[in-house]
Structure 1
């Protein structure tokens, strides 16, 4: 499991290894909903929160027509709270995350709040699901956790959706 760490506003992470090394899932400067064309059309989740989604990736500066790293078209995901966007590959999202972020109002690391209590208080206590990237306070879980689990961690929603109601092998 990973916990949120403090990263000063304006600083950026550029690789999954940087992110994993510091127990964070995505750049403090990035976020996600879905934009399917290289236009300024915002995703359903960004529209719900009245936030205009950026039409470029904060990592590679490409758009939906071209990821500047891979040189191929790739949809953007945008934060439902602030509208910052990124390509799933630039964000180092897993296949399950790519599926999941299209189904709920995704939040970037700066905007992330607990999926249970709805607050971003005590953000150092937030764990991130390895399947959907939602955040949860360790103390809001049932049962609560006093320490982040070793290895991967999936929330209750993803255990049902991706793992048939059973915790994946090796998961606490």
Structure 2
């Protein structure tokens, strides 16, 4: 009996609300953002035109494909390659030029000599050629390698991995003049 009384009370409450929606009914209904008046009107709904958003000129679009930019980049790359090949050809030509190097073998007294070498020759290679030229006169040089010798110019000990071209291009100077 108590269940039947509870159900009748619920029906009475619904009738008393006069159109008010209970929470259970609200959960069952889908939400609608349209006004109730629009449902009553058949075809007189207001149409809001879609606005097209404009472009923002401050946005970086360099990642987007662009035929003109690609052609321009290809042209610039071609010019860079041509300039690089010209520079390498000029460097090779300069490295193959011959220079005269004055050197001295020091064993307590100075034995001055001169030798013509290419500018691109490394100091270690120059020392090898100098050893070959000096071996005829000095027997103690028969077993020596370039690593056992030093190339000293004025007050500087020059490492074996440098080339003469390095010093000429950078215009390195010693105490009395250019190296």
Q: Return the TM-score normalized by structure 2.
A: 0.22
Of Structure 1 and Structure 2, the greater helix share is in 2
Q: Which structure: larger Rg?
A: 2
Greater relative CO, 1 or 2 (CA 8 Å, sep 6+)? 1
Tell me the TM-score normalised to structure 1 length. Answer: 0.23
